[in-house]
Amino acid sequence: VIWCGVCFLAFMLDKNLEHIDVYFYVMGGVLGLVLGATQSLARSTYSKLLPETEDHATYFSFYDVTEKIAIVLGMSVFGLLISITGSMQWSVLFLAIFFFVAFIVINTIRATKYVK
């Protein structure tokens, strides 16, 4: 939710605003506060969704591969939108849309006995 909010605010910023650098640094600070926990929370949440098995390495290998694919696809879409529109604003707005879609997908996952 915070990521979507910051992306939307970045989309709404006008580069001609007075003190635009202050707004940019505040958004960077907010993202810095959230970014620290993102990786560890994602991996721990993923581990709670795994079935009970002895071989968790296979699942985490799949997690790592899909993470790399998501990075490549995300950066490709970001760059493509910049080249099409000539502005980073639309790319940032699409990041917010990606975060919103991820939020919906995560909320549709059924709970395991570890997640209530």
**55-85 residue pLDDT tens:** 888 888 998 999 899 889 989 998 999 899 9
Confidence of residue 112 (pLDDT cuts 50, 70, 90): low
Per-residue model confidence (pLDDT) at position 116: 58
d(CA 93, CA 7): 6
- One-character DSSP codes across 84-100: HHS-HHHHHHHHHHHHH
Confidence of residue 50 (pLDDT cuts 50, 70, 90): confident
Per-domain boundaries in the chain? 2-108
Per-residue model confidence (pLDDT) at position 48: 81
* Contact yes or no for 91/78 (Cβ under 8 A): yes
Per-residue model confidence (pLDDT) at position 76: 93
Q: What single-letter DSSP state applies at residue 19? A: T
**Contact residues for 12 (Cβ-Cβ < 8 A; gap 6+):** none
**6-34 residue pLDDT tens:** 888 888 887 787 888 888 888 888 888 88
CA distances from 90 to 7, 8, 10, 110 (A): 10, 10, 10, 33
pTM: 0.67
